[in-house]
Structure 1
Amino acid sequence: MSFVIDRYPCEESPRLGAMTLRPTPDSVPRARRWFRRFIAPYDPRCSVDDCVLALSELVTNAVLHGRADAEWVLRVEWFRDGTSLRVEVHNPGLPEGVCLRRPDADDLHGRGLLLVDSVAASWDCGPSRFGGTVVSFVMADAWPP
């Protein structure tokens, strides 16, 4: 099994959906496809393309930098917070390793969080309730008040 999708359309819950992915490169396009599919019924006003770009970067970072002594998975969850959409990516890595870099033009890597920072209203990182790290971004004004 490479991923599991949970969908929570219940109005009482701010969580709109979640998926569990294996830490492999093919999880990045899977996350993009499943996020598009499951966010569509909610018809957000924000750019779904920008959300998918930010999600791709965070999942890529989780796959590349998540570490655990045993087999592990990464978890993606998305929430409605008032008029905003918040997307979280959880992995077993350490939060102190997450930082916004300003790579030189000839650097091949290091632009992921810079891209997230440019398309999202905000982003954050810290300890995950599942253990490890959560990195999240917020898209403001995703829904009417």
Structure 2
Amino acid sequence: MTYLIDRYPCEDSPRLGAMTLHPTPESVPRARRWFRKFIAPYNPACSVDDCALMISELVTNAILYGRSEEEWVLRVEWFREVTSLRVEVHNPGFPAAVRLRRPDASDAHGRGLLLVDSLAESWHSGPSRFGGTVVSFVMADAWPS
């Protein structure tokens, strides 16, 4: 299996990095590690641990709910937007299927977006520019103004 990592260190580009992953369980820890490695040179002031945790949740969801008739990949991208960090996770699933759940204490699953909702400044889901679905989150005050 090949995994692609893009980096755009150019100051003119708001995209700080991206990775393409296969929809396998091994991609979840890989996404955390690669994000930590490639965000480090930008020295964000927000919690990289919180970002890595939210990326884990969104990549897990993308793997579980992404659907395609053909072989597919998921894509994680991160951007600097003035003082904020925005992270996007793209998969070929249906945008309407993304919803915030309020699971019972006995439910084993369903807390990923609830966690993102509690840690991020904001989050969004909708159609991906690659086709399928994108779920993103924003961490405010990631860099000084």
TM-score normalised by structure 1 residue count: 0.99
Q: CA deviation at 1:2?
A: 3.7
Partner of 1:91: 91
Q: CA deviation at 1:3?
A: 1.5
Q: Does 2:141 correspond to 1:138?
A: no
Q: Does 2:19 correspond to 1:31?
A: no
- Cα RMSD for the two superposed structures: 0.5
Partner of 1:109: 109
Taking the TM superposition and a 5 Å limit, the aligned residue runs for 1:37-116 are: 37-116=37-116
Question: What CA deviation, in whole Å up to 9, does each residue of 1:39-75 have, x standing for no partner?
Answer: 0000000000000011000000000000000000000
Q: CA deviation at 1:11?
A: 0.6
Q: Does 2:19 correspond to 1:19?
A: yes
Letter in 2 for 1:16: L
C-alpha separation in 2, matches of 1:102 and 1:127: 23
The alignment covers a number of residue pairs equal to 145
C-alpha separation in 2, matches of 1:91 and 1:20: 10
Letter in 2 for 1:25: P
C-alpha separation in 1, matches of 2:117 and 2:8: 27
Letter in 2 for 1:85: L
C-alpha separation in 1, matches of 2:64 and 2:51: 20
TM-score normalised by structure 2 residue count: 0.99
4+ residue stretches of structure 1 with deviation over 3 A? none
**5+ long unaligned stretches in structure 2:** none
C-alpha separation in 2, matches of 1:78 and 1:2: 20
